[in-house]
Structure 1
């Protein structure tokens, strides 16, 4: 991972560039496209990722998973989220969690976002483009629900050094995929899951409701226990109210 790195001072979206390489047949497993600035960075569900130039880590990792079925694609998301969360915890200390499906929080504030886009061949994942945005040295935030490693620790960080460390955490986490030990993966993910077994508020179908997140299905859907019974939601069907 990271043996081939394409560095850009500015681009529209590293995920778009990585996806173009995949479609052109030029992509390599473990290749990284990283930029100081993205003019059209994207997050989950079309949200924009805004970042000050040269302050943070914004990159896309191209992966060619071995024997990963489409039905198991959430397993990749779990590994990536756990790798990022592990790295953040190594720098920021306790209080790091994964907010389903794959935001990384320190306390209740978002420090990293992940966007995974897959290329499918038959029943298998041929390539995955993993976009990661991690606030490292950001100091000004439009949204009070966001933070950075620097804001939490009071330190300024060398981005290249932190990138190397983050890749080590990702490689370690991704090693679970070939083994296919989903129980270990689920246990680790639930151990990091924000709000697990706690009463939280959500929005679904335009309505706010209270519920207790109690787990994740193998397909990556969120299981929420409510007063009227258990409900299961896909990514686009529910959102958190922190």
Structure 2
């Protein structure tokens, strides 16, 4: 494993993007930092992490195919891989909360941000950013956040966790051509799948709907109260739970 360790950096995603733009790097090269000063999350949100307590890292993936139609499969593979790795540490009730949060016992412990780039030769590469709450114990003004240490009441070895996640990602990436298998697994892990749930739209109007799945481009498919199925993008709605 090619793992680059840094004490502090603005964003591991940005660092890896700049590195891959200036030199040829090994596939699955990983950059991890003890202190991420300007981490990014979904919807343009920041990812705040206590210095030295958690895992904040990014993984570089160069894809051999020039297939733009299945890019969301990287999100799926990453989510599945993290859950598989965490199961080895006996985390309970693990789920994927759309679009890319990992929950344990209904608490957010991990966030994922995948950034794809299409090169001039048509080849695609992805930077997979992951923030995993490991040994942090306090989350001020974040009632839905938790960590492995909080949930299991012990300190975890971050290096072992990192290697477990990278290995699980590599293993699942090899299955990327078996799209039906990966989608089925992803949907089996989807939080609130098939359960009536409250959502809120951009106008802050609350409504009840049932998650039917996620589309091939990552939109959430909801069955509304009038029984119609509608797809929503990341910025259009949020789940209230």
On the 8 A contact 1:214/1:225 being kept in 2, the answer is yes
Q: Give the drift of 1:210.
A: 0.7
- Paired position in structure 2 for 1:194: 191
Structure 1 residue 19 displacement after superposition: 1.0
Aligned positions of 1:141-220 closer than 5 A: 141-142=139-140, 143-177=142-176, 180-206=177-203, 207-220=205-218
Q: Aligned equivalents of 1:204 and 1:70: distance in 2?
A: 29
Q: Is the 8 A contact 2:91 2:148 kept in 1?
A: no
Alignment: residue pair count: 238
Distance 1:209 1:29 in 2: 43
**Displacement, 1:220?**
1.7
- Looking at structure 1, the residues matched to 233 and 120 of structure 2 have their Cα atoms a distance apart, in angstroms, of 22
CA separation in 2, counterparts of 1:84 and 1:35? 18
How far does residue 123 in structure 1 lie from its aligned partner after superposition?
A: 9.7
Q: Which moved more, 1:110-119 or 1:165-174?
A: 165-174
**Which whole-Å CA distance do the structure 1 matches of 2:97 and 2:88 have between them?**
18
- Shift of residue 22 of structure 1? 2.3
Alignment-derived partner of residue 226 in structure 1: 224
Query: Higher helix proportion, which one?
Result: 1
Could you tell me whether the CA contact under 8 Å between 1:67 and 1:124 is conserved in 2? no
C-alpha RMSD of the superposition: 1.6
What does residue 237 of structure 2 align with?
238
Whether the 8 Å contact between 2:61 and 2:126 is mirrored in structure 1 is yes
**Contact 2:91/2:152 (<8 A) preserved:** no
Q: Which residue of the partner structure matches residue 133 of structure 1?
A: 131
Runs of 4+ in 1 over 2 A off after TM superposition: 22-28, 121-125
- What is the TM-score with the length of structure 1 in the denominator? 0.93
Give structure 2 stretches of 5+ with no counterpart: none
Alignment of 1:35-184 (within 5 A): 35-67=33-65, 69-121=67-119, 126-142=124-140, 143-177=142-176, 180-184=177-181
- Distance 1:222-1:19 versus aligned 2 partners, 3 A rule: same
The 3 A distance-change label for structure 1 pair 124 and 222 is farther
TM-score of the superposition, structure 2-length normalised?
Answer: 0.94
2: CA distance between counterparts of 1:122 and 1:78? 26
Between the aligned partners of 2:53 and 2:10, the Cα distance in structure 1 is: 17
Q: Distance in 1 between matches of 2:66 and 2:124?
A: 8
Structure 1 residues 195, 86: closer, same or farther in 2, change over 3 A?
same
